[in-house]
Amino acid sequence: MLALSVAGLVPVWLYSPGTGHGGEISEVAAPETQPRQEVPAPQSAPPVVPPTAGSAPRSTAPGTQQQAPQQQAPQQQQRALSGPAITTSEGVVQVQVTLQGTKITDVKAVRAPNSNPTRMALPLLRQSALKAQSADIDTVSGATATSEGYRQSLQAALDGAR
Amino acid sequence: MAVRRVEHVMGLPVSVDLRDGDAALAGRAFAWLHEVDERFSPFKPGSEVCRYDRGELTREELTPDLVEVLSLCDWYEESTGGAFTARVPGRALDPCAVVKGWAVQRAADLLREGGASSFCLNAGGDVVTAGEPEPGKPWRVGVRHPDLADQLSVVLGVRDGAVATSALYERGQHILDGRTGRPVTGLISVTVVADDLAIADTTATAAFALGRDGIEWAAAQRDCAVFIVDEDRQVWSSPGLPVHIC
């Protein structure tokens, strides 16, 4: 059994389905003994722009993604597992985790209080190694504050190319 | 009619790529940015910011624009426990970190109000997009690789959204932790995607000022997706990041 504490909000309990069950969607209820964590009150929105902006409740866990155990990862099928719907002081929260084998590839809130569920930013991040690439682009994000820096930048090349 | 124009404003190279507008409309956007520079620069003694900092104006006498900027500064200062601040002890009031994104977003709003529906505005690497450069395609916004100036670390596909990056490149450290007054460590590059550049830019700068704590702080900001490179060259990205598959 593998326990994930997602976003510090919702304890989601998962177990690996046996071989032959890969690809199934499993709904697993949280055990009664699992302690519920208090959800902090959302912070006030930044003023004026945009009126709806604000912080999602913060995670208190320093790690943003727990590694799945390495054993028993026989297959790479994608599975989506929903955690239990949990009533918090802020509303009902439910999280869905997508796994590729035992590796988490996505987490989203399927129910979240006071927000559009698909747009809620949960502080669970993907971690990867930094890679360099070149590609066809329209513009570049990244500080080019000085004139000299700009002259040598990719953005200058793009601006001058057309 | 398509218009491209580059100008140095507010100490930044500003590029506009207007796919459906005229030169006069682009001119209005640049005129606004020049106006902001006069009014909000902490380096111009006659600016509203400097006059307020010297006590020549009270908060009640400020323009609504500066009140809005200072309110944003205050909100992010509180949200980051003071790591982000427009008032580093011993230094003059400097709301530049908010002014830039806020002003460029307003410039984009001016372009929209003038009838433009497809454009990309880039101010020192902070980007606002509208519509699509061509039907069915998003604006492809490359994020500069923090170590390799001519390479990208990711390409984002954005429609009607903003992308801002705070980073330490070859010029050295330029963001201070307001709690200590010392240069920030922990992160190399923070990119934030949001609907509004004032939010994206300030969130990126504030996350940077928080150091490693800024990773989770930024990811928890509503309607923001992040792409963050830490000092160990590990990348942290939101599941909702609009990565463009080239």
Q: Is the pLDDT of residue A142 over 50?
A: yes
Q: Measured between CB atoms, does B216 come within 8 Å of chain A?
A: yes
A78-160 belongs to CATH 3.30.70.1880: no
- In single-letter form, the type of residue at position B54 comes to R
Distance CA B155, CA B148 (A): 15
Q: Walk along chain B (246 residues) and give the pLDDT tens digit of each residue.
A: 799 999 999 989 999 999 998 999 999 999 999 999 999 999 999 999 999 999 999 999 999 999 999 999 999 999 999 999 999 888 899 999 999 999 999 999 999 999 999 999 999 999 999 999 999 999 999 999 999 988 999 999 999 999 999 998 855 656 789 999 888 889 999 999 999 999 999 999 999 999 999 999 999 999 999 999 999 999 999 999 999 987
CB A57 within 8 A of CB A90: yes
Cβ distance B6 to A159 less than 8 Å, yes or no, reads yes
- List the domain boundaries for chain A: 78-160
Query: For residue A88, what pLDDT band results from cuts at 50, 70 and 90?
Result: low
What length is written for chain A? Answer: 162
Q: What domains are defined for chain B?
A: 3-237 (3.10.520.10)
Q: Which two tokens stand for residue B72?
A: 């944003």
Query: What DSSP string runs through A55-107?
Result: BPPPP--S-S-PPPPSSS-----EEEEE---EEETTEEEEEEEEEETTEEEEE
Q: What are the residues facing A12 on neighbouring strands?
A: A4
Q: How many CB atoms lie within 10 A of CB B227?
A: 26
Query: Which site among A60, A139, A144 would you substitute to test the B interface, given the most B Cβ atoms closer than 10 Å to its Cβ?
Result: A139
- Chain A nearest C-alpha distance from B158 (Å): 11
Q: Measured between CB atoms, does B102 come within 8 Å of chain A?
A: yes
**Closest Cβ opposite residue A53 in set B149, B153, B222:** B222
Distance CA A153, CA A106 (A): 34
Q: What is the pLDDT of residue A93?
A: 67
Query: What DSSP string runs through B105-143?
Result: HHHHHHHHHTT--SEEEEETTEEEEES-SBTTB-EEEEE
Q: What is the pLDDT of residue A102?
A: 64
**Closest Cβ opposite residue B4 in set A125, A145, A162:** A162
If contacts are CB pairs under 8 Å, which of residues 192-211 in chain B contact chain A? 195-196, 198-199, 202
- pTM for this structure? 0.72
Q: How many CB atoms lie within 10 A of CB A59?
A: 22
